[in-house]
Amino acid sequence: MDTLALGVLTLIAVVTLVNPGGGGGVELVPFADLTASGWSRTGAYQNGGNIAMFLPLGVLLPFTLGGRLAGFPRVLAASGAVSVTVEILQYVLGTGRITSVDDVILNCTGAVLGSLLTWPWWRARRRRPERESSAPSALSATGGRSQQSLLESTSTRCVPLLGVLYSRGKRPCRIRPPRELSDPAPDRGERGSALLGHFVGAGDRCSSKDSAGGFL
């Protein structure tokens, strides 16, 4: 595409600079030439020629330079720069052509119309790198969320497990009933009071051992 665009620029330079004109002058008032030429055959030929000359350039510009000129404002700026350069060279080289602002307006119109013809193709081509660049970021975000959820689930499972292991390492004191209480007692009241005293004494012994740190 770059080679084709360069060929179109060469053709524009040959038509506008090498081929001499029949007059000369400068017209910096917008639409003055269009109003003076009117709707005559000569005016329609000149104005249509200015539009058609930049139409192929507008078709090719969105695909040149790796798609850096894809976009109507960029096509307008690039074609405007080319047209202004051509008009300045016409005045400097004395080609006998009128240096007019209307020629720049018509040239830019033709370039924008040409880019509009190929708009579906360069628009899809411009969106493709955007989708490819957004795919790794989406994958990295998904991977980050999965890693975070994995860490949360692991921590949720490990904390109760550590609690169970810690509770098992304490070796709690077991209180066993005395052997003499296993025999049937003649009186239920005496048996209950003896059992209560035994458990109270055993609980005091366990608390004293835990405070000494012997069961950790």
Higher pLDDT, 181 or 34: 34
Q: How far apart are CA 157 and CA 161, in angstroms?
A: 7
C-alpha distances in angstroms, 82 versus 51, 59, 97, 106, 123? 14, 15, 17, 12, 23
Tell me the pLDDT tens digit for each residue of 42-56: 888 889 999 999 999
Tell me the pLDDT tens digit for each residue of 142-196: 555 655 665 565 555 544 544 544 454 444 444 455 454 445 544 555 555 555 5
Structure tokens of 48? 């249509």
pTM more than 0.85: no
Dihedral sign, CA of 106, 112, 115, 119? negative
